[in-house]
Amino acid sequence: MGQRLVTGVVAGAGFIAVLALGGWYYSGLLAVLALIGYDEYVRMNGQSRRRWDVRAAYAAVALMALPRLPFGWQAPSVDALAWLILFVLLAATVVSKNRIHLEHASLLFLGVLYIGFGFRAMAEARELPHGFFWSLLAFACIWASDVGAYTVGRYFGRRKLWPAISPNKTIEGAVGGLVIAVATAVVFAACRPAWLGYGQAVAVGAVAAVAGQLGDLIQSAYKRLRGVKDSGAIFPGHGGVLDRTDSWLIVFPLIQLLGLLAH
């Protein structure tokens, strides 16, 4: 527990510091995390890093995670990049004479969208006007939901939320996480009422809590399917990148698609 706490505090403080810096510091960090997360995904699925189609998928994830490129180069749009990697992966099944199966291509493509687009949404949130505020709001709601769900579930949890997937989660904990996430968002609205209305704050907090807990369950279900406890071991006591960012990868794209950040 002590190692887990120290790792969480140090990693969290470092992440917020880079988030505050913004620019290429933050975008670069997200791209690195996306690549590490995709590597975890590849290993969980038993795919060989030596295959050229897997290497092409790594490149696609890095490009997908970056909303802009250095030296003024034009970044490809999400739909263009998604189609291009889809074409490459499907062509790989033909060129390899089906040594690379359609199932391989499907798994790699799913990972590119899930991880690459998720981190891209985080980078784009930071580039909004007052981007540090909006990004910190979303992260704070996600973390508040996690802490609230754990605390309320530990002391008051009685009814299991989804025991077949995550036996420790409870309905009481999920509701507690929702309430605390909404309360956190309301505090942000009170600090900057000109930027964030109370109704919008409640919506952000609710979506962050519900989608964040669903993102955690998605990763739990996937790890259970693959028979692994953690996606990786890069963070002592916390597992891998996907273990730590499973909620982020769902929340940021969703609140972006719903238009809940900025005005």
Give the pLDDT of the chain (263 residues) as one tens digit per residue. Answer: 556 666 667 888 899 999 999 999 999 999 999 999 999 999 999 898 889 999 999 999 999 999 887 777 777 889 999 999 999 999 999 998 888 889 999 999 999 999 999 999 999 999 999 999 999 999 999 999 999 998 888 888 778 877 777 778 888 989 999 999 999 999 999 999 999 999 999 999 999 999 999 999 899 888 888 888 888 777 766 678 999 999 999 999 999 999 998 76
* Structure-block tokens of residue 95: 């060129």
What is the number of residues in the chain?
263
Contact 32, 123 (CB under 8 A): no
Flag whether 148 is in a domain.
Answer: yes
Flag whether 121 is in a domain.
Answer: no
pLDDT score recorded for residue 192: 95
Flag whether 235 is in a domain.
Answer: yes
pLDDT score recorded for residue 68: 82
Angstrom distance (rounded) from CA 236 to CA 17: 20
The H or E element spanning position 178 is helix 171-191
pLDDT score recorded for residue 130: 95
pLDDT score recorded for residue 224: 85
pLDDT score recorded for residue 139: 97
Flag whether 230 is in a domain.
Answer: yes
Flag whether 79 is in a domain.
Answer: no
Flag whether 97 is in a domain.
Answer: no
Flag whether 115 is in a domain.
Answer: no
- Phi and psi at residue 221, to the nearest 5°: -65, -40
Contact 92, 107 (CB under 8 A): no
Span 27-58, pLDDT tens digits? 999 999 999 999 999 999 989 888 999 999 99
Q: How far is CA 134 from CA 6, 139, 156, 180, 261, in A?
A: 26, 9, 32, 18, 6
Strand partners, 162: 166
- Please give the residue range of the domain that contains residue 150: 130-263
* Residue in 117, 32, 125 with CA at minimum distance from that of residue 81: 117
Question: Could you tell me which residues come within 8 angstroms of residue 113 by beta carbon, excluding any fewer than 6 positions away?
Answer: 64, 82
Angstrom distance (rounded) from CA 61 to CA 6: 30
Strand partners, 235: 239
Ordered alpha helix ranges (H), 227-240: none
DSSP 74-129: PPPPHHHHHHHHHHHHHHHHHHTTTSS-HHHHHHHHHHIIIIIIHHHHHHHHHTST
What type of residue sits at position 144? A
Flag whether 20 is in a domain.
Answer: no
C-alpha torsion 189→191→195→200, nearest 10: 0
Q: How many domains does the chain have?
A: 1
Helices 78-95/102-111 angle, 10° precision? 160
Burial of 120 (C-beta count, 10 Å sphere; 0-12/13-18/19+):
buried
What type of residue sits at position 43? R
The H or E element spanning position 167 is strand 166-170
